[in-house]
Amino acid sequence: MWVHPQTISHKTSQSDRRLIVFSLACLVPLLHTVAVSFSDKAAADAGRVLLTPIDATTASYAKVLDDGQFFHSFYISIKRVVLGGLLNFVLTIMMAFALAKDSKQFRMRNVYMRFVVFTMLFSGGIVPWFMTVKSYGLLNSIWALVLPHAVQTFNVILLMNFFRNLPKELSEAAEIDGAGPWYIMIRMFVPLSLPAIATVTLFSIVFHWNSFFDGLILMNKQDQYPLQTYIQTLVAQLSAQAMTGMSPEQLAQAMAVSNRTFNAAKIIISMIPIMLIYPFIQRFFIHGITLGSVKE
């Protein structure tokens, strides 16, 4: 059946327009959040802000940034992401590589796999978690935020399934040539699994960056708070200040900021590091989508 080229071109242009509309629709919530963060308190509280700021002001950002503790907490969050990301990277690859073996190569594989799945379904709760961290003397230290999340079982299962889909002939040929497990994992499995590793690494980075609850529980000093925990305390302080005595300057600053504009500014600031990291990992996501789409 012959189809006129103009018909194909017309259908393609329609698909492109739909894709553009869909992409712009995805940007609407982000544009709205940016507009709220730069808008006046009264306009934001009245719900009059859509996609452009009304009575533009930077009072919310000034409230967040006009504090040395903010930059100190920012540094703690970066240190947590680096330490936690590296630890997750190493342990996830090692654990996934071992669990990717079948029961003939790793006899206890099914037993360990049951333990992994069990931790995804059940947990001891907040109190045992806190007592365990305290018993190791990790309170008020960066390791209290990193070590309890050293192994993220969901990421392990994702990477394990990717390893299991790699051709077994590669590892068998390497074993015949005398290669050991460490050589096979580092020189063969890791290079072939960069899309999957990049994905789970980004999951780990986002988790450590956005986590705030563990900082509230495990840190007793404000100078040890990560960024998300510190911003959360600022929201609580902003609400409490309305009922306490303040100086005229503090009162004017508090009156110019509402919880809605403040939360919007918090969201925008929190997104910046992830938005800077994502472009460098995006190519791995694209490769992961197309991987295996063409079979010979």
Biggest alpha carbon–alpha carbon distance for the chain:
81
Q: Determine how many CB atoms are found less than 10 A away from the CB of residue 293.
A: 6
Range from 6-10, 59-63, 187-191 carrying the lowest mean pLDDT: 6-10
Question: Stretch 92-99: mean pLDDT, rounded?
Answer: 90
Question: Stretch 83-98: mean pLDDT, rounded?
Answer: 91
Question: Stretch 62-87: mean pLDDT, rounded?
Answer: 86
Question: Stretch 94-109: mean pLDDT, rounded?
Answer: 86
Please report the pLDDT score of residue 292 as a whole number. 42
Specify the higher pLDDT residue, 256 or 160.
160
Model's pTM, two decimal places? 0.75
Residues 110, 147: Cα–Cα separation, whole Å = 25
Q: String of b and e for 164-196 (b: at least 16 CB within 10 Å)?
A: eeeeeeebeebeeeeeebeebbeebbeebbbbb
In the predicted structure, residue 98 carries a pLDDT above the cut 80: yes
Residues 86, 82: Cα–Cα separation, whole Å = 6
The pLDDT tens digits for 124-149 are 788 888 898 899 988 888 999 999 88
Q: If 0-12 CB within 10 Å is exposed, 13-18 middle and 19+ buried, where does residue 149 land?
A: middle
Share of the chain above pLDDT 90, in %: 7
Residue 69 near residue 230 (C-beta atoms within 8 A)? yes
Cα–Cα distances in Å, from 4 out to 7, 135, 148? 5, 75, 62
Residue at 37: amino acid letter: S
Domain ranges of the chain: 61-290
Per-residue DSSP letter, 240: H
Residue 57 near residue 74 (C-beta atoms within 8 A)? no
Share of the chain above pLDDT 70, in %: 81
Residues 194, 288: Cα–Cα separation, whole Å = 9
**Which 3 state secondary structure label does DSSP give 73?**
helix
Please report the pLDDT score of residue 12 as a whole number. 55
In the predicted structure, residue 87 carries a pLDDT above the cut 90: yes
148 contacts: CB under 8 Å, gap ≥ 6: 129, 132, 133, 214
Residue at 241: amino acid letter: Q
The chain-wide mean pLDDT, for the chain, equals 78
Specify the higher pLDDT residue, 11 or 135.
135
pLDDT band at 30 (very low <50, low <70, confident <90, very high): confident
Task: Identify the architecture of domain 61-290 in CATH.
Answer: Orthogonal Bundle (1.10)
Please report the pLDDT score of residue 8 as a whole number. 46
